[in-house]
Structure 1
Amino acid sequence: MTVFESKISINKPVADVFAFLKDFNNHQQLMPDSISEWVSTTNDASFAIKNMSRLSLKISNRIPNSSVIIVPASAVPFNIEMRWVVTSLGEDTTEAILTVSAELNMMMKVMASGPLKKLTDFQVTELKKILG
């Protein structure tokens, strides 16, 4: 299992950060420009990745004010899980950690490691921009 992780502190209560992350409709705001054709509900999303194919994801588990787990909703070339964990660092400060775990063979690891690490870094940075 290959793991990519990024974390950031946000000046918002943990309940506010969790409320944003638990709704897949909000995740479009966290995506890079290479994502298009976004369609979502509270629980799932599908989108196109530039120069690749469509991907469908779903939220498989929510633990209030703690975590949101996202998994593929359809067949994918490799198993992947995205896990947002939010922890209160005080009344108005939250640490948000995005962990992407992927089962990558050596060839996929070479091709996908850079983009997956960039994605985790991009999403936590965007989350901070949006929520402050």
Structure 2
Amino acid sequence: MTVIQNSTQINKPLAEVYQFLADLNNHEQLMPDNIYNWTSTADEARFTIKNMAKLALRISQRIENKELVCVPSEEAPFAITLRWKLDEASAESTTASFVIEAELNMMMKMMASGPLQKLVDHQVSRLKEVLG
């Protein structure tokens, strides 16, 4: 299991950060430029990663003000789980961690680890920008 993650502090209350992340429609704002053909509902998102793959994700678990888990809703190139974990740093500040867990063989790990880390880093920094 390959685990790729990053965290950030957001100067917003925990419930506000959770409400934003709990709706997959909002996640388009967190995506890098190489994502296109985005369509989403509150519970599902479909998109294409330029020169790579099409992905369809759905929220498989919501733990209010704590965690949000997304898994592929259609066949993906490898088993993957995307997880947002939230912790209250203070009444007006939240620690948000984005974790990708992927079943990658050695070859896939060499090819996918860099792009997945860039995706995690980008989404964490965009979340901080969007929620300010």
The runs of 4+ residues in structure 1 deviating greater than 6 Å are none
User: How far did 1:2 drift?
Assistant: 0.3
Mind listing any 5+ residue stretches in structure 1 that lack a counterpart?
none
Deviation per residue, 1:39-95 (Å, 9 max, x gap):
000000000110122110000000110010000010011100000001101110000
Matched residue, 1:94: 94
SS at match of 1:36: strand
Q: Aligned partners of 1:53 and 1:60: how far apart in 2?
A: 21
In the alignment, the residues of structure 2 paired with residue 52 and residue 118 of structure 1 have an alpha-carbon distance, to the nearest angstrom, of 14
Residue 119 of structure 1 deviates from its aligned partner by: 0.5
Residue identity opposite 2:44 in structure 1: D
1:52 is matched with which residue? 52
Count how many residue pairs are aligned between Structure 1 and Structure 2: 132
- Once the two structures are superposed, residues 78-118 of structure 1 have per-residue CA deviations (whole angstroms, 9 ceiling, x without a partner) of 10000000110111000000000000001100100000001
2:6 counterpart residue number: 6
| Partner amino acid, structure 2, of 1:97 | S
RMSD, matched Cα: 0.5
Matched, 1:79 2:79: yes
2:119 aligned residue: 119
* C-alpha distance in structure 1 between counterparts of 2:10 and 2:44, whole Å: 25
| Aligned mates of 1:60, 1:76 — CA distance in 2 | 15
